[in-house]
Each structure stands twice: as structure tokens, then as C-alpha cells.
Amino acid sequence: MDSLTLVILVLIAIVTLGVAAVVWLALRPKDTSSHDALVAQLATSQADLAARMQVMAQSQDLMTRTLQERLDAVSKRLGDGLTEHGQRTGDVIKQVHERLAVIDAAQQNLSNLTDQMVGLQDILSNKQARGAFGEIQLIDLVKDALPPSAYTFQATLSNGKRADCLLKLPNPPGSIVIDSKFPLESYLALRNAENDDMRKVALRGFGTDVLNHVRAIAEKYIVAGETAESALMFLPSEAVYAELHASLPEVVEKSYRARVWIVSPTTLMATLNTVRAVLKDAHMREQAGVIQGEVLKLLEDVSRLDKRVGNLQTHFSQAQKDIGEIQTSSAKVMRRAERIEDIQLEDANPATDLPPTTHPVTTPPQAGLIEP
């Protein structure tokens, strides 16, 4: 029950008491003294009630203001909270939109990748397209590792066979043929085998395909006197290469005995780096005579320079000797000059200090006079 309801109930009670008092006064016998006393008591009670009513009204106002202030504070706090919550919600929605945009972009990339994978699958399902794929990968690797003068693509040998790539190496070992092979069907059959029996059959077929390629390369691309005693079979898939070495090591051994080295993109790059080092060493050997001649000329120039430095040192020694003699002569000249200066100082003494002469002094005739 709130304070307003309480005030109303009190007012109703006061009015009821007033009406009851009036009725009671009207019904009781007329007694003036007691009536006056009762009226005075009622007036006192009414004044007391009025004072209490005023106090309650003041308390009600104070309570109303307090409630209003608290209500305003709660409203402000609630409004600020709603504003902040709305701002945070807006930020979250913005982040969600940004992430959705990223997800849409990733979805588009996945769709493009799916299309590309479908295209790659179409390429790999066709033997001719698959062969072209392996040759393109082989061409890219060779071009990245070797200079143009070190290889030839689609080179025709003397037996009429055309190799995918011919590495031009000096003898020994000679030119090496690289042929690209991709036994994808047997590899996929091996990967899709559902039980051990199917896996054994697929593994046997995979090994047979690889050995057929090895024999074909050994027969076609190892030509005595024209190529090296070995050739390379390029598998353009690391997965196929790894499966071959992991599951069929005996096939790898047979390829070694047939002098056909099976390489993947990674191992081919390492092989090509070795070939580049061999080519560089061969080029250095070809230039060894030129380098030796230049070294001999350099030694002659050094000998000539040493001789000229010796001559220059001799000239410096002679010049130093001449400078010493010049200094000696200069010292003698200075000493003689000092002696001459001493003699001049002695001539400045008076004539009385000179000893008397015994010879007559002959006065020379004056110029322009003629003796009589």
C-alpha cells in the first residue's frame, strides 16, 4: 500500500468520526456544559489531526520528490544503458557484416578453387593433356635453374626419338635426356583401393606401369656415343613419387639398374642445381688456358714493375747522394763567407795599430795628368 492510499484512508476515517460525533451530539440530551467541553475536545482533536495531516502532507511531498528523483536517476541510467547497449549492438552487427563479407569472399575463392580443381581433374583425366601438364612443369623447372644454352626441349636424337628435354653436358657424362611420365590411373586405383586385395592388385599395376615407362626411356633415350649412360624420368607429382618409394622400393631398384633415375619436382630441382655446378666447372676448365696465359702475362708485368721500382730506388739513392754533396758544398761556402766577414771586421781597426812599413809608398798618378 502506497502513502497516497494511506492518506485517503485517514481522511475517510476522520470524516467518519466527525459525522459520528455530530450524530451522537444530535441524539444525546441537551447539556450545555458537557456539550461545550465536547466541542472543545473535538476542536482540539481536529487541530491535532490537521497538524498531523500537514506533517503527513509534507512527508508525502518529500517522499514524492525522493521517488521522482530516484525515478529520474533510474530512467537516466536505463537510457544510458540502452544507448550504450544499442551502440555495442551496432558495433557487433557491423563486425558481423564484415565477417560475413570475408566469409562471402572465402566462399567465392572456394568456388573458384573448386572450378579450378574440376578443370585440373579434367586435364589429368586426359592422357594427352596430362602429358602436356607434366611437360609444362618440366619446362618451368629447367628454365628457372639453367641458362638457355644448357638445354633443348623436344630434341630429336639420332635414332629418331624425340625427348622432352635434353641437358647439354660435356663429356663425361654427356648429354642427359629428361622424359616426363605421369602414371595417374594406376596411382588413383591404388589410392582408392577399399581392401587389402584390391590394394595388392592396384599396387602391382602401379609398379608395372612405372617399369614400362622405365624400360621405354632406357631403350629410346640412352644412345651410346650421343647421350650419357643414364636418363631421368620426371614424375610431376610429389605424392606419386612418395608412394612409389614407400610402397615399391624394388621398382626403384630396378630403375637404378636400368640407369633411369626417377625424379620429382623437388629432386629434379636439386639435380638441375648440380648440373649447373657441373656446367660452371666445365666452363672454367675451358677457360683454364686463357686464364693461365693471362696469369703469365700478369707475372711478366709484375717482374717489369719490380725492375722499374728498383731503377726508381737507384735514382732516389743517387739523388739523396747528390743532395748530401750539395749540403756539404753549401756548408763550405757558408764557412768561407764567415771567414771573409771576419777579415772585413779586422780591416775596420785604426791605422795606428798597423806596423810601420819600410818601403816607400808610391802614389799613383792622378788620372788625366801628364808627367813633365
Whichever domain contains 222, its CATH number is 3.40.1350
Q: Where are the beta strands (DSSP E) in the chain?
A: 151-156, 162-167, 176-180, 231-234, 260-263
Query: 153-162 burial, b if ≥16 CB within 10 A, otherwise e?
Result: eebebeeebe
Residue 118 lies in a domain: no
- Model confidence at 116: pLDDT above 50: yes
Residue 245 lies in a domain: yes
Residue 213 lies in a domain: yes
Residue 259 lies in a domain: yes
Which one of 290, 314, 341 terminates a domain? 290
Q: What is the mean pLDDT of residues 81-100?
A: 84
On whether both 136 and 63 belong to a single domain, the answer is: no
Residue 346 lies in a domain: no
pLDDT at 214: 92
- Model confidence at 144: pLDDT above 70: yes
Q: What is the mean pLDDT of residues 187-191?
A: 82
pLDDT at 299: 86
Query: Is 265 strand, coil or helix?
Result: helix
3-state SS of 14-26 is HHHHHHHHHHHHH
Which one of 290, 310, 338 terminates a domain? 290
Of 46-55, 209-218, 334-343, which gets the smallest average pLDDT? 46-55
pLDDT at 233: 92
How many domains does the chain divide into? 2
Residue 50 lies in a domain: yes
Of 30-39, 326-335, 359-368, which gets the smallest average pLDDT? 359-368
Residue 222 lies in a domain: yes
On whether both 52 and 146 belong to a single domain, the answer is: no
Q: Which of 135, 257, 238 is nearest to 187 (CA)?
A: 238
pLDDT at 47: 75
Provide the pLDDT confidence category of residue 80 given band limits of 50, 70 and 90.
confident
- Model confidence at 7: pLDDT above 70: no
On whether both 58 and 166 belong to a single domain, the answer is: no
Provide the pLDDT confidence category of residue 289 given band limits of 50, 70 and 90.
confident
Of 135-144, 167-176, 335-344, which gets the smallest average pLDDT? 335-344
pLDDT at 216: 92
Q: Which of 280, 167, 160 is nearest to 232 (CA)?
A: 167
Query: Is 151 strand, coil or helix?
Result: strand
pLDDT at 366: 43
Q: What is the mean pLDDT of residues 112-118?
A: 57
Provide the pLDDT confidence category of residue 225 given band limits of 50, 70 and 90.
confident
- Pairwise pLDDT comparison (138 vs 30), residue with the higher score: 138
On whether both 253 and 157 belong to a single domain, the answer is: yes
- Pairwise pLDDT comparison (351 vs 324), residue with the higher score: 324
Which structural domain, as residue segments, surrounds residue 22? 1-26+38-70
On whether both 147 and 276 belong to a single domain, the answer is: yes
Query: Is 262 strand, coil or helix?
Result: strand
Query: Is 179 strand, coil or helix?
Result: strand
pLDDT at 361: 45
- Model confidence at 21: pLDDT above 80: no
Which one of 290, 321, 337 terminates a domain? 290
Provide the pLDDT confidence category of residue 181 given band limits of 50, 70 and 90.
confident
Q: What is the mean pLDDT of residues 150-161?
A: 88
Burial of 268 (0-12, 13-18, 19+ CB in 10 A): buried
- Model confidence at 33: pLDDT above 80: no
On whether both 54 and 195 belong to a single domain, the answer is: no
DSSP for 318-368 reads HHHHHHHHHHHHHHHHHHHHHHHHHHHHHHTS-GGGSPPPSSPPPPPPPTT
On whether both 141 and 62 belong to a single domain, the answer is: no
On whether both 132 and 245 belong to a single domain, the answer is: yes
On whether both 154 and 57 belong to a single domain, the answer is: no
Q: What are phi and psi of 5, to 5 degrees?
A: -65, -40
Q: Which of 167, 193, 188, 178 is nearest to 239 (CA)?
A: 188
Instruction: Please tell me the pTM assigned to this model.
Output: 0.46
On whether both 143 and 283 belong to a single domain, the answer is: yes
**What type of residue sits at position 297?**
K
Q: What is the mean pLDDT of residues 200-227?
A: 90
pLDDT at 365: 45
Q: Which of 53-57, 99-103, 220-224 has the highest mean pLDDT?
A: 220-224
Q: How far apart are CA 2 and CA 278, in angstroms?
A: 105
Q: How far apart are CA 285 and CA 266, in angstroms?
A: 29
- Model confidence at 313: pLDDT above 70: yes
Query: Is 120 strand, coil or helix?
Result: helix
On whether both 278 and 183 belong to a single domain, the answer is: yes
- Model confidence at 118: pLDDT above 50: no
Q: What are phi and psi of 179, to 5 degrees?
A: -120, 135
First to last CA, the chain: 183
Residues 292-301: tens digit of each pLDDT: 788 888 888 8
On whether both 59 and 170 belong to a single domain, the answer is: no
DSSP for 194-205 reads -SHHHHHHHHHH
pLDDT at 231: 92
- Model confidence at 372: pLDDT above 50: no
- Model confidence at 66: pLDDT above 80: yes
Of 123-127, 151-155, 195-199, 343-347, which gets the smallest average pLDDT? 123-127
Summary mean pLDDT of the chain: 78
Provide the pLDDT confidence category of residue 24 given band limits of 50, 70 and 90.
low
- Model confidence at 229: pLDDT above 70: yes
* Cα maximum dimension of the chain: 215
Residue 106 lies in a domain: no
